[in-house]
Amino acid sequence: MNRLIEFAIGLLFGWGLLLSGMTDPGKVQGFLDLAGAWDPSLAFVMGGAVLVGFFAFALAARRSRSFLGHPFQLPAAREIDRPLVLGALIFGVGWGLAGFCPGPALVATAAGYPEALVFVAAMLAGMAAFEGLGRLRGRALTADPAS
Amino acid sequence: MDGAGDAVHALYQQVRPPMARTMTIDWLHFTPWLSLAGGLLIGGAAALFILLNGRVLGISGILGGLLARRPGDAGWRIAFLLGLAAAPATFWLAAPAGFLAEPRIEAGWGTLVLAGLLVGFGTRYGSGCTSGHGVCGISRLSPRSLVATAAFMAAGFLTVYLLRHV
C-alpha cells in the first residue's frame, strides 16, 4: 500500500514536471538567461508549487504524525554552513550548463532522450563520488542528507 | 519608419534605462498557464509526500540516498522513482500529440557530462536540489533552503550569462 502511494506521488510529480516545462532544458536556460530573450515560465512553476506546498507544510507542522501515521522526517540541520552554500553553487553551475536538474533529467531519460541519459549517468557518478568521499573521510559530508 | 522616427528610436535607445535595454521577454516560449498548472501538480505531489509519508520530496536526496545503501531504506525510494519514470509514457497516453513542445537540448556531450557531475555532487554536498530546497524548503520557510535556492539560482543566472553572452 505504501509502495503504491509512493509510486503514485512519483507519477504525479513527473506529470507536473512535464506539464510545467521543467523537462525542457531550453526552457530552463531561457529562464536563467536574463540578458537574452527571457522566458519567465519557471517563476510560475515555482509560484504554483510553493503555493500548494506552503499550506501542506503548515498543516504538517500542526500534526505529530502524518495522515498515514508515519513520523515526520524533516531536515534537522539549522546552520547555514559552507557545504550548503558551496554545494548549491556547484549545483547551480551544472544546472545552468545543461538546463537539467535531477527530477526533470530522470523524466527526460524515461522519455527516451539520450542526452538526458548521459546527464543522469554523470549525475549518478557525481552522487557516488560524494558518497565515496564521505566514506573516505569516515563520516557524512553533511549532517543532513534528508532533503 | 521614416527619418524622424528613426532618429527618435535611436535617441530612445540611448536614454532608456539599462534594464529596459536588456530585458526582452521570450513570448514565443512563455507558457504561464501550463507552467502554473505543472507547478500546482509539483506542489501537490510534495504536499501528499509530507502529509502521507512524512517525508520531504527532494529528488537528489531520494536518488542519492539509494547510493548510501542503508539497509531497509530502498523500497520507498525505488517506488517513487518508478512512478517518476512512468510519467512520460502515461502523460502521452492522455495528452494529444504535440501538446508539449519538443525539448530543446543545446548542450553537447562533454557539457552534459560535466554538468551531470556538478549537479550530482553539488546537490548531495548542498543537501538538496530544486525540489528539496526550491519547492519544499521555501514552502516551509527554511532559512537554509532559502539561502541554497538563492545560491543555485545566482550560479545558474551567471553560468547562462557566461555561456551565451561572453
pLDDT in tens, A74-117: 999 999 999 999 999 999 999 999 999 999 999 999 999 999 99
Average pLDDT value over all residues in chain A? 93
Residue B79 is assigned to a structural domain of this protein: yes
Where helices occur in chain A by DSSP H, the ranges are 2-20, 25-32, 41-61, 82-98, 102-110, 114-136
Q: For residue B3, give the C-alpha cell.
A: 527619418
Burial class (CB in 10 A: 0-12, 13-18, 19+), A69: exposed
Residue B4 is assigned to a structural domain of this protein: no
Three-class DSSP category at A1: coil
Provide the residue range defining the domain that includes B140: 33-90+108-165
**Whether pLDDT at B69 is above 50:** yes
For residue B126, the Cα-to-chain-centroid distance in whole angstroms is 16
Residue given cell 541519459 in the structure block: A117
* C-alpha pair distances (Å), B41 with each of A14, A19, A124, B149: 9, 9, 26, 20
Q: Which residues of A touch B44 (CB under 8 A)?
A: 12, 16, 52
Give me the residue from B40, B100, B129 closest to A102, CB to CB.
B129
pLDDT, average across residues B31-59: 97
| Percentage of chain B exceeding pLDDT 70 | 87
Interchain pair A145, B68: CB under 8 A = yes
Residue B142 is assigned to a structural domain of this protein: yes
**Contact between residue B123 and residue B64 where contact means Cβ atoms under 8 Å apart:** yes
Task: Please tell me the predicted confidence (pLDDT) of residue B97.
Answer: 78
Residue B121 is assigned to a structural domain of this protein: yes
Quick one: pLDDT band at residue B19, thresholds 50, 70, 90?
A: low
**Cβ of B93 under 8 Å from any chain A Cβ?**
no
Interchain pair B155, A92: CB under 8 A = yes
Residue B100 is assigned to a structural domain of this protein: no
**Cβ of B164 under 8 Å from any chain A Cβ?**
yes
> What is the total count of domains within chain B?
1
**Whether pLDDT at B132 is above 50:** yes
Interchain pair A142, B137: CB under 8 A = no
Question: What are the backbone dihedrals phi and psi of residue A79, each rounded to the nearest 5 degrees, phi first?
Answer: -75, 140
Give me the residue from A21, A51, A129 closest to B34, CB to CB.
A21
| CB proximity list for B154: less than 8 A, separation 6 or greater | A89, A92
| Percentage of chain B exceeding pLDDT 90 | 77
Task: Please tell me the predicted confidence (pLDDT) of residue B22.
Answer: 61
Give me the residue from A19, A57, A86 closest to B34, CB to CB.
A19
**Whether pLDDT at A15 is above 80:** yes
Residue given cell 536518488 in the structure block: B63
Q: Dmax over Cα atoms in chain B, in whole Å? A: 76
| CB proximity list for A94: less than 8 A, separation 6 or greater | B114, B115, B116, B117, B118, B119, B120, B122
Q: What is the pLDDT of residues A33-58, one digit of tens each?
A: 999 999 999 999 999 999 999 999 99
Task: Please tell me the predicted confidence (pLDDT) of residue A1.
Answer: 78
Q: In the structure, how many helices (H) and strands (E) does chain B have? A: 9, 1
DSSP A75-112: -------HHHHHHHHHHHHHHHHHS--HHHHHHHHHTT
Residue B16 is assigned to a structural domain of this protein: no
